[in-house]
Amino acid sequence: MSEEINDSYSVDDIQVLEGLEPVRIRPGMYIGNTSSGGLHHLVYEIVDNSIDEAVAGYCNKIYISINKDNSITTKDNGRGLPVGIHPKTNKSAVETILTVLHSGGKFNHKSYKTSGGLHGVGSSVVNALSSHLTVIVHIGGHTHIQEYEKGKPLYDLKITGTTKQKGTEITFLPDDSIFSTTIFNYSLLENRFKELSFLNKGIEIIFEDKRLGKEQINTYHSENGIEGYIQYVNQNNITLNNKVIVIEKQVNGYDINLAFQYIDDDNETISSFANNINTHEGGVHLNGFKSSLFKSVNTFAKQNNLIKEKDESIISEDVRSGITAIISVKLAEPQFEGQTKTKLGNEEFKPIIEQTIYDELMIFFTENKEYAMLIVTNATNARDIRLASKKAKEIAKKEKKSKGQHNKGKLTDCSSKIPEECEIFLVEGDSAGGSAKKSRSRKFQGILPQRGKSLNVEKKDRSKVLASVELMSIVNSLGTDIGKDFDISKLKYHKVILMADSDSDGAGHICTLWLNFFYRYMKPLITNGHIYIALPPLYRNTIKDTNFYTYSEEEQIKFKKDHTSKKITEIQRYKGLGEMDEVQLWETTMNPETRRLLQVNIDDDISANYYCTLLMGDVVEPRRDFIMKNAKFFLNN
């Protein structure tokens, strides 16, 4: 029975939420969502407070651990949270910070010149969304402690003893009644901490996993800052020059840090940060870098007669071909905008960063003429490839039109022509593709079987990619084209679902090959959230003619343990998609109401680029070392 709505609307209907109640009722407003993304955001909020201490010059070591009970502990050697009584709240400053929204020391610039956390909601939100939180503060020769449950203090802040230490330690356990998952991903957190160590040179970040079967500890530290980051990312690539171009300037209160290097490749990888926040949507600092880089390279080329008047002009994209770059800025009052609030919008900053980078690059090019000439040659080569590719494409388009060929492989299309409601399954093998065609909903699900393992596009030139029948069948089916000609407005399916066997060969290797292709040639499909991985079951358990599916060894063990009182009449372990009949494939893997899908996204473009090169590139030794180091963790997941 639906809830009855009262037609009257008066003062009695106005609800006032106090303290941290709004956070627990509407957590998505504060952390984005209550799934994995929001869960990990809790860790970032607490760690960012320690990073702000480091940026301010009061902290050089941060320790983070995932504990055995899946709680998180963070410790730093900063100044320690203030412990005195706050005059407005009549509570300790510690309790005020942890229980009052929009409280903290980052609204003026007396305690922090710049900060990643500007709204004063970080610590209090983490407290509100934790079933238990403990804070320990070492300050003024004493150790203070206070505990909370679901954001409410269990007792006042108290002194437990004397100490020579200084800093803050927080341990929190996310509330499983709020989050859909409370299992932390070590690799995801590791990438962020590694990133922070490069963005804040000199700081030491120690990250430990204490969970049974997943024990490991790693330390991240860089004395070279983002220059070291570029060297780390490009260590398995052939570079045009071993030297990383670095600019570090302070102008009008703005800190500008830039590092870039070119590799023997036509991909462009640029990450931008503002106050340590990854500005995925870019902004004025990224646009300023791009425009000043193009202007300086073009100016140098013309000054040295490296581009003749009769030559076709180079464009900004040509200059960025093969570049790996990081632009990191720090400013007192960042203005974040965009769909996910990760786009820097300080318009007054744009002319400053453009002029600063242009001037510094012109000085560098004058002092390093041979290096500058390499960059110009790289840009003109990119221009020639771009023009040749455009010409070849026009010829191919004419031939295709005259022959009436669509080259969509074995696509079985859906009847709907509305992209927002359509999805396409890339299916491993003709056999599984045949089953998927019989299982699908004809209205909105298209099926494109892929024969065997697709081409490894890493380090392959564009001509080989264009010659791949399997890959081009994907491109033509989606309708978007690839590379610099990619046009997301022409996408025919808003869900592109990768469906492979759940073994290491299928879900591991084949999906990785597909993902690498999308990342290198059709990246907006990933960044706009259109790529998904289907998660077929690993086991089918039958109890009294009813099927129950589990999707991992861990789930299967738990299922058997939970059903010891019932007789499981049959257990089937699927070796591949082809072992499922049409009904089973539909209800487990294709039915939107019951299936499991994993959406693919890019949290860190620099790390994504590094791992693509590591796992799919030509250099064997680093890949073998990575697999040997991490194999046990994959086996335990």
For residue range 579-622, list pLDDT tens digits in order.
888 889 999 999 999 999 999 988 778 888 888 888 887 777 77
Range of lowest pLDDT (196-200, 359-363, 464-468)? 464-468
**How far is the C-alpha of 357 from the C-alpha of 355, rounded, in Å?**
6
Task: Say yes or no: 335 and 269 in one domain.
Answer: yes
Question: Would you state the pLDDT for residue 107?
Answer: 41
Task: Say yes or no: 211 and 242 in one domain.
Answer: no
Q: Residue 17 pLDDT > 50, yes or no?
A: no
At 21 the three-state DSSP class reads: helix
437 domain residue, yes or no: no
Q: Residue 339 — very low, low, confident or very high, per pLDDT cuts 50/70/90?
A: low
540 domain residue, yes or no: no
Q: Residue 630 — very low, low, confident or very high, per pLDDT cuts 50/70/90?
A: low
* Average pLDDT for 189-215: 95
Task: Say yes or no: 217 and 237 in one domain.
Answer: no
Question: Would you state the pLDDT for residue 396?
Answer: 65
Task: Say yes or no: 265 and 287 in one domain.
Answer: yes
Q: What is the CATH number of the domain that holds 166?
A: 3.30.565.10
260 domain residue, yes or no: yes
372 domain residue, yes or no: yes
Question: Would you state the pLDDT for residue 15?
Answer: 39
Q: Which two tokens stand for residue 256?
A: 């500008």
Task: Say yes or no: 158 and 39 in one domain.
Answer: yes
* Average pLDDT for 301-309: 88
Question: Would you state the pLDDT for residue 401?
Answer: 60
Last residue of a domain, one of 335, 354, 388: 388
136 domain residue, yes or no: yes
Task: Output the CA–CA distances (angstroms, integers) from residue 304 to 298, 307, 366, in the order listed.
Answer: 10, 8, 11
* Average pLDDT for 468-472: 89
Query: 603 an active-site residue?
Result: no
State the catalytic residue, choosing from 428, 458, 470, 605: 428
Question: Would you state the pLDDT for residue 409?
Answer: 64
pTM here is 0.79
291 domain residue, yes or no: yes
* Average pLDDT for 17-28: 76
CB 60, CB 76: distance < 8 Å: no
- Which DSSP letter does residue 150 get? T
Task: Say yes or no: 105 and 197 in one domain.
Answer: yes
State the catalytic residue, choosing from 248, 359, 384, 505: 505
Question: Would you state the pLDDT for residue 467?
Answer: 82
More confident residue, 299 or 611: 299
Q: Residue 2 — very low, low, confident or very high, per pLDDT cuts 50/70/90?
A: very low
Task: Say yes or no: 241 and 215 in one domain.
Answer: no
Q: What is the CATH number of the domain that holds 260?
A: 3.30.230.10
Question: Would you state the pLDDT for residue 195?
Answer: 93
123 domain residue, yes or no: yes
Task: Output the CA–CA distances (angstroms, integers) from residue 175 to 23, 148, 149, 260, 404, in the order listed.
Answer: 12, 12, 10, 42, 59
As a whole number, the mean pLDDT across the chain is 87
625 domain residue, yes or no: no
Query: 264 an active-site residue?
Result: no
Last residue of a domain, one of 371, 388, 405: 388
Query: 604 an active-site residue?
Result: no
pLDDT in tens, 32-61: 889 888 999 999 999 999 999 998 899 999
At 378 the three-state DSSP class reads: helix
Task: Say yes or no: 242 and 177 in one domain.
Answer: no
Task: Say yes or no: 54 and 69 in one domain.
Answer: yes
Question: Would you state the pLDDT for residue 476?
Answer: 92
Give the domain range for residue 281: 226-388
- Cα dihedral: 36, 40, 45, 51 (round 10): -150
Question: Would you state the pLDDT for residue 609?
Answer: 84
CB 590, CB 518: distance < 8 Å: no
CB 319, CB 379: distance < 8 Å: yes
Query: 470 an active-site residue?
Result: no
State the catalytic residue, choosing from 169, 190, 266, 501: 501
Q: Residue 397 — very low, low, confident or very high, per pLDDT cuts 50/70/90?
A: low
* Average pLDDT for 277-293: 94
pLDDT in tens, 380-395: 999 988 888 778 777 7
Q: Residue 564 pLDDT > 90, yes or no?
A: no
Range of lowest pLDDT (6-15, 111-120, 143-152, 283-292)? 6-15
Task: Say yes or no: 183 and 234 in one domain.
Answer: no
Task: Say yes or no: 179 and 310 in one domain.
Answer: no
State the catalytic residue, choosing from 204, 503, 553, 582: 503
pLDDT in tens, 160-177: 999 999 999 999 999 999
Tally of domains within the chain = 2
Task: Say yes or no: 279 and 250 in one domain.
Answer: yes
Last residue of a domain, one of 363, 388, 413: 388
